[in-house]
Structure 1
Amino acid sequence: MTNTADAAVSDKDQAPVLQQMSVLDRFLPVWILAAMALGIGLGRAIPGMDQALDAIKIGSVSLPIAIGLLLMMYPVLAKVRYRQLDRVTGDRKLLISSLVLNWLVGPALMFALAWLLLPDLPEYRTGLIIVGLARCIAMVLIWNDLSCGDREAGAVLVAINSVFQILAFGVLGWFYLQVLPGWLGLEQVDADFSFWTIVVSVLVFLGIPLLAGFLTRTIGERKMGQEAYESKFLPQIGPVALYGLLFTIVMLFALQGHTITSQPLDVVRIALPLLAYFFLMFGGSFALGAGIGLGYEKTATLAFTAAGNNFELAIAVAIGVFGVTSGEALAGVVGPLIEVPVLVALVYVSLWLRGRMADRGEQVRPGR
């Protein structure tokens, strides 16, 4: 993200990590809330802006959101030391924990919370279940980087999530919307997910920035050397990720600003299970990682990849299957409305836990 996203606790200076962050990074929640407000305001103030932005798309992919996400992810993926990925792929505890949390615990928890808290609102409930099935492959890299998590582990885990998303999303959707409700005597939902919507989402939101980051790293190190690449080039492109994040948020909420503000009580109802989901997934995943001895960096990466969701895919699927004005689509839109500020807050929680782990003498690598 920025130079200060890599802040570390110095051997000589024991000041908390948060105090070492720049003003830009320290007040990130303020910029994000301002971007959300700006997007909602634009969507309300400019008639037809949401339809105009929604019309700028390739297939099911919104071009403005895709541009923002690519700008957001490219600098982070250019920082990954790809030659060190074998250090992550050989960590069976990390990989197995991530797979279990993302593809067994996460969808099951969202299913349970949706039915528990929205028993009378089937459209919103279905939309939240779809959100729970869409595991995060994009924005999680930003939260991981800001929390000083393991970049290489983050790259590997989102790649694994991408493969599983293509293979498992449709099957899990069928199971959680039709099979499991039938077993439990609950209302079943007939939904036909587009395989190509999922493939395109993965290729655009991960494949393009991953390839660009890999090529930049490979060519940059070859021409400049690793030290010059990391000390001179990366700081120059780092702020682009923050600008891409804020642009994405403005575009996303400009697209859905009218819908969000016209149904405030429904938004509150949808927000409750989402809040419970994010805190339970992050807290449980962080406790698991610390409990099995992953060390802070991998524990933070595990927690954020488990707690985050691919809202881009969830919204695209909900709109494609149920329609742009459906309750399912609204539930998908409320996802990032809650997820973005909550996960930013959890970045600060994670950095505080990093200091606590260091104080107890647990494994905390120097910042990168």
Structure 2
Amino acid sequence: MGVFERYLSLWVALAIVAGVVLGKAAPDLFSAIAEFEHAHVNFAVAALIWFMIYPMMVQIEFSSLTQVRKNPNGLWLTLAVNWLVKPFSMAALGVLFFKYVFAGLVDPASASEYIAGMILLGVAPCTAMVFVWSQLVKGDLNYTLVQVSLNDIIMVFAFAPIAALLLGVGDIEVPWATLLLSTVLYVMLPLVSGVLTRSWILSRAGHPGMDRFVARLKPYSTAGLLATVVLLFAFQATAILDKPFIIALIAVPLVIQSYGIFAVTFLAARRLKLPFEIAAPACLIGTSNFFELAVAVAITLFGLDSGAALATVVGVLVEVPVMLSLVHISNRTRHLFSESA
């Protein structure tokens, strides 16, 4: 691991500061960039995420996908945590903090909206950034692809009824445009591009050429991550500076949820004797969120300036720093797991 990768958390912290400073200094510029979107999917962010994910997709070997069936427990663990544990634990933490712990600090109406936003985050498992976290722990990218794909399929059917149940509202209309556009931009296009690139390079330069190409792409992936952080924090610079106390309150249960879900999945993976390259991504998938979907539904149900929308945005802001810390924990505990043969 190079110096740059070794101190990635420091560079992310600096990117957060840079984002807030730039967003406050040039609000009109970043407002214009923020409006360059469709179905709540920002194309600037999408392009940067593509830069992050494409190097991982180049490493996908379709011939190896059949090996997933030899160890299906990683898939079952991912699905159980994402759909049977995570939504309900998020709802419970939201109620605990905003109905009881923070009851004297926020008004009841706002508290209910914050809880709603947190629930929407809990019901939307991550699609794109999972590949980044899997790469950072040297996870099995083929297995990660299957885990993400199954999550996406289940999300089509399970997101609306679980969200409606936990929010206590009627039928929720799934923002199909957001879901489909995100899947195409964040998974399908990078995957197709990666597969075609891999086939072309292997046919001409073999595996040594492939290794050199992936090594050259690595800095672009990291740069994409840092630029994404700058953009996300620049978009929300005003809210961060105007409502730091509320954002801090919302962040508390979200951070507890992330570390709690990670711990539950970690212990279950140990119990199932999963190899590290399957266990680590499984732990990380359960802790990250599909924030575009959560934001889109929050805005549709509660409005752009609602507490629910703010809560989903806070979820975006805390995700990268928290996930990097969990990547560090995963790598430090590699010795507690076996390696695949």
Q: TM-score, normalised by structure 1?
A: 0.85
Quote the offset at 1:125 in angstroms: 0.7
CA distance in 2, matches of 1:50, 1:284: 38
Aligned to 1:202: 183
Partner SS state of residue 27, structure 2: coil
CA contact (8 A) 1:144 1:300 kept: yes
> What is residue 54 of structure 1 aligned with on the other side?
34
Question: Any idea what SS the aligned residue of 1:79 has?
Answer: coil
- Listed as ranges, the matches of 1:1-368 within 5 Å are 21-119=1-99, 120=108, 121-178=111-168, 188=169, 191-230=172-211, 232-354=212-334, 356-357=335-336, 362-364=337-339
Count of residues paired in the alignment: 331
- For 2:331 and 2:75, the matched residues in 1 are separated by 23
Deviations 1:6-42 (A, max 9, x none): xxxxxxxxxxxxxxx2111110001111111111111
Q: Deviations over 1:193-249 (max 9, x none)?
A: 32332222222222221221222222222232234312x111111211111111111
Between stretches 76-85 and 241-250, larger displacement belongs to 76-85
Shift of 1:365: 5.1
Distance 1:123 1:190 in 2: 18
Range that drifts further, 130-139 or 143-152:
143-152
TM-superposed CA distance for 1:317, in Å, is 2.6
> What displacement does 1:191 show?
5.0
When the two chains are superposed, the root-mean-square deviation of aligned CA atoms in Å is 1.8
Q: Which amino acid aligns with 1:198?
A: L
Q: Is the 8 A contact 1:74 1:210 kept in 2?
A: yes
Aligned partners of 1:195, 1:170: CA distance in 2, in Å?
Answer: 11
The separation in 2 between residues aligned to 1:260 and 1:266, in whole angstroms, is 9
SS in structure 2 opposite 1:193?
Answer: coil
Q: Distance in 1 between matches of 2:203 and 2:33?
A: 40
Cα deviation for residue 91 of structure 1 reads 2.2
Distance of 1:193 and 1:321 partners within structure 2: 11
Once the two structures are superposed, residues 277-302 of structure 1 have per-residue CA deviations (whole angstroms, 9 ceiling, x without a partner) of 11011111111111111111111011
1:156 partner amino acid:
V
Cα distance in 1 for partners of 2:65, 2:233 equals 36
Letter in 2 for 1:200: L
TM-score (norm 2): 0.92
| Cα distance in 2 for residues equivalent to 1:365 and 1:341 | 29
Once superposed, which parts of structure 1, at least 4 consecutive aligned residues long, lie more than 6 Å away?
A: none
**Can you list the C-alpha shifts for 1:72-113, whole angstroms capped at 9, x where unaligned?**
111111122222111114422111111111111111111111
Of 310-319 and 146-155, more deviation after overlay is shown by 310-319
- Alignment partners' CA distance in 2, 1:365 and 1:87: 11
